[in-house]
Structure 1
Amino acid sequence: MANLSIRGLDDRSLAELKKRAVKEDASVNALVLRLIEQGLGRRPSKPALRRHADLDELSGSWGKSDAAAFERATAAFSEVDAKLWK
């Protein structure tokens, strides 16, 4: 395997590479190798992970029939078994 030195890399680019390497839990070297392989078309790029802290995307996605079906399917969970609470 060959070694390669990159000259002329600006501080901002290096900082972004380091930040991305930390985010991906990888070394800067491993990240740069992967980016080169992706750029050369030798490795498919990974889809970006989408992390959500909320359920906004699901809001309003059910129609009335979906809500009714859910209510019917979960109705038994609302029933209290009195014998279990004595």
Structure 2
Amino acid sequence: MRTEDMASDERKKEIEEIRMRALLKCKDGQELKGTTDQFVCGKCRKRECTYYQMQTRSADEPMTTYVTCVSCNHHWMFC
């Protein structure tokens, strides 16, 4: 038997609440980024997107741009 199985009903409720708060914190814990209308989402066709750039290849190649749609959470990348 696990220690969680031996806990009282009150403690089980507390544990479940802690898990739910942690789950929401992980899901919503991402920093709020500014949006741009520079990109059009290929899925919902809206212009509310966030993006960041990262150097993924050699220095003489362009940076890779990662874009995420704020409305439908569709994400894509391009160079």
Q: Which structure shows the bigger proportion of residues in strand conformation?
A: 2
- Asked which structure has the greater CA Rg, the reply is 1
TM range (shorter): under 0.3
Greater relative contact order, per chain length (Cα 8 Å cut-off, separation 6+): 2
- TM-score of the superposed pair, with normalisation by structure 1: 0.19
